[in-house]
């Protein structure tokens, strides 16, 4: 079968679930990964064909997409802040909003003396996307990354090696940590923040496939991780150290109140590319 013919069949099969543009983007992502062909190759060589073996592989992937398994898990990788990351069912798929958080931190360091060494801690690192992106772009930083999941840390360690950066990984539960036992200039976290009451708003492909441990918190204590990390930051941030969070878009005011109530200065709330309250920063005196 000609690849162009299969492409049309592929998009039509996914049309009831995904919009046409998204289905088409899936096709070209898989084409590049499985066949090492780009959109331009198909345009210039309209007679390219799939073998029966290749069609069998593609049909298997297509069926999994119909079941709404995320394409990043099917391909085993994704891109984040210009870097490649391996992902599987043990880690969240990195989001564009989190890239904005990373960029905020990187931009905040541009005016600093480049020879000045800084220490950064990423809490709840998952795939390692935040920690590794910071290590790659801030050569003066010593980066630590912490997670409760050993399986997530195994993925993050592979990603650090893949991107040729040195990150110190720590296996521990932040909620059971009383002291981080060293001082950091920056602490950053994208902790679980989706309330159970918001589950019905979560897309099926996320709800059925991504790790709930990294997503959900109880309705009656949605800020449990933010409160605990902020308490630790008061002990373990250096003077003028910065605390960054990705947050639940519905809890911007509550996060401002929490940080200011705990004595952080210059507290700032930022919106993401979609116009939602998504990031906060506070400074320790």
What separation, in Å, do the N-terminal and C-terminal C-alpha atoms of the chain show? 66
Which SS3 state, helix, strand or coil, does residue 90 take? coil
Residue 79: name the closest of 129, 131, 28, 138 by CA: 129
pTM of the full structure: 0.91
Which contacts of 26-32 are long-range, i.e. CB under 8 A and separated by 24 or more positions? 26/65, 26/71, 29/71, 29/75, 30/58, 30/61, 30/71, 30/74, 30/75, 31/3
CA distance 232 to 210: 28
Phi, psi of 40 (to 5 degrees): -65, -35
Say how far apart CA 169 and CA 131 lie, in whole Å: 10
What are the residues facing 84 on neighbouring strands?
A: 79
- What is the spatial distance between Cα 72 and Cα 10, in angstroms, rounded to a whole number? 17
Of 136, 46, 35, 124, give the one whose Cα is nearest residue 83.
136
Write down the pLDDT at residue 199: 78
Q: CB-side exposure of 105: number of CA atoms within 13 Å?
A: 34
User: What pLDDT, on a 0 to 100 scale, did the predictor assign at position 113?
Assistant: 64
Beta strands 141-147 and 216-217, pairing class? unpaired
Local confidence pLDDT in tens for the 285 residues of the chain: 999 999 999 999 999 999 899 999 999 999 999 999 999 999 999 899 999 999 999 999 999 999 999 999 999 999 999 999 999 999 999 999 999 999 999 999 987 767 789 999 999 999 999 999 999 999 999 999 999 999 999 999 999 999 999 999 999 999 999 999 999 999 999 999 888 888 778 887 788 887 888 888 888 889 999 999 999 999 999 999 999 999 999 999 999 999 999 999 999 999 999 999 999 999 997
Residue 196: the pLDDT is 81
């Amino acid at each position: 079968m000609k690849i162009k013919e299969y492409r049309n069949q592929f998009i039509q099969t996914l049309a009831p679930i995904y919009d046409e543009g998204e289905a088409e983007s899936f096709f070209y992502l898989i084409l590049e990964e499985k066949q090492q062909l780009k959109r331009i190759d198909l345009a210039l060589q309209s007679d390219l064909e799939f073998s029966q073996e290749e069609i069998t592989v593609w049909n298997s992937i297509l069926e999994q997409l119909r079941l709404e398994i995320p394409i990043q898990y099917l391909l085993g990788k994704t891109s984040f802040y210009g870097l490649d990351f391996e992902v599987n069912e043990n880690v969240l798929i990195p989001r564009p909003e989190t890239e904005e958080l990373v960029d905020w931190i990187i931009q905040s360091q541009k005016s600093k003396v480049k020879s000045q060494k800084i220490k950064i801690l990423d809490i709840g690192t998952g795939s390692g996307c935040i920690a590794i992106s910071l290590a790659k772009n801030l050569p003066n930083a010593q980066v630590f990354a912490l997670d409760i999941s050993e399986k997530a840390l195994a993925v993050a360690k592979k990603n650090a090696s893949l991107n040729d950066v040195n990150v110190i990984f720590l296996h521990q539960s932040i909620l059971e940590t009383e002291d981080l036992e060293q001082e950091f200039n920056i602490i950053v976290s994208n902790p679980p923040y989706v309330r159970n009451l918001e589950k019905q708003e979560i897309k099926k492909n996320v709800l059925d496939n991504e790790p709930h441990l990294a997503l959900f918190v109880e309705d009656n204590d949605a800020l449990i991780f933010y409160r605990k990390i902020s308490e630790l930051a008061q002990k373990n941030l250096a003077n003028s150290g910065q605390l960054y969070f990705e947050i639940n878009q519905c809890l911007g005011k509550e996060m401002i109140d929490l940080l200011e109530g705990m004595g952080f200065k210059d507290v700032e709330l930022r919106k993401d590319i979609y116009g939602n309250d998504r990031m906060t920063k506070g400074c320790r005196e």
